[in-house]
Amino acid sequence: MIIAANFKTNLTRQKTAEYMAVLEAFLEKEGVTQEVMVFPPATALDRFDGRTQVGTQNAYPTRNGAFTGELGLEQLEEFGTDTILIGHSERRHVMGESQEEIARKFSFYKEKGFTIVYCIGEPLEVREAGNDALMDYLEAQLEGIDLHYKKLVIAYEPVWAIGTGLTPSLGDIELIHAALKQRVAKPLLYGGSVKVDNAREILALQHVDGILVGSGALAVEDFCRMIRDAETLHKGE
Ligand code: 13P
């Protein structure tokens, strides 16, 4: 399983370093075998000792150049960062990234061999329009994306579940994941209001290969508890 934390615009460079130290000590002590990923803010990227895959929440499809406010490959390489989140709901809906821009970003970082956690998810009005509308919407978010890319991970994050405390029912998560798995044969994470309280039951669902956690992972102790859930489930405990 893949247990991933997206800090978004939270925690500082200092706080991230403290977080990573606690996390790595935990992974070592417990002998965790599951994959762990952390996406800190760009100012906190670094080479951390240990086995966590540290990725960037965003980057521009360029090596370098005149793209004020953006990061390129050159800045990521300095920290050995080779993992990226692409298509996150906040990039799509708050920053207004189009599917075309997202696909361009995907192609660029695929070409560079990055692990790509590619996010998709529908807003509430689409969810309310029924399952066909929902799958059509998700399908449009796959446009221009190489679904056979070796280092592709998909994250299904319903927009209405992100940061709201709401989640689809377990049955709905299972249903949508089953449909997505038929379409894309890649690891499939669920994201949107995953917390210590619901992580285990979500991780236990069929077709859920992991979780992408925002606010629920900001306290390292909570993130560690979710990792332990994944580890024990994996061992069949
Ligand atoms: P929350 O866990 O805060 O709902 O955020 C989910 C998310 O967007 C992770 O990428």
Extents of the domains making up the chain: 2-60+69-235
Report the SS3 class of residue 86.
strand
Which residues does a 6 A CB cutoff place in the pocket of ligand 1?
Answer: 6, 88, 157, 162-163, 191-194, 212-216
Residue 48 — very low, low, confident or very high, per pLDDT cuts 50/70/90? very high
pTM comes to 0.98
Residues 172-187 have a mean pLDDT of: 97
Whole-number Å distance between alpha carbons of 36 and 52? 5
The two most distant CA atoms of the chain are separated, in Å, by 52
- pLDDT the model gives residue 78: 97
pLDDT score of 237: 84
Q: Give me the architecture of the 2-60+69-235 domain, per CATH.
A: Alpha-Beta Barrel (3.20)
Query: What residue owns the CA closest to ligand 1's atom 9?
Result: 214
CB 177, CB 190: distance < 8 Å = yes
Active-site amino acid positions: 88, 157
Nearest CA to ligand 1 atom 2: 214
Task: Identify which of 56, 40, 148 has the alpha carbon closest to the alpha carbon of residue 105.
Answer: 56
Report how far ligand 1's centroid is from the alpha carbon of 66 (Å): 31
As a residue count, the chain comes to 237
Which of 95, 193, 211 is the best mutation target for the ligand 1 pocket, counting ligand atoms within 8 Å of the beta carbon and taking the most? 193
Across the chain, mean pLDDT equals 97
How far is C-alpha 150 from the geometric centre of its chain's CA atoms? Answer: 16
Could you identify the atom of ligand 1 that is nearest to the CA of residue 194? 2
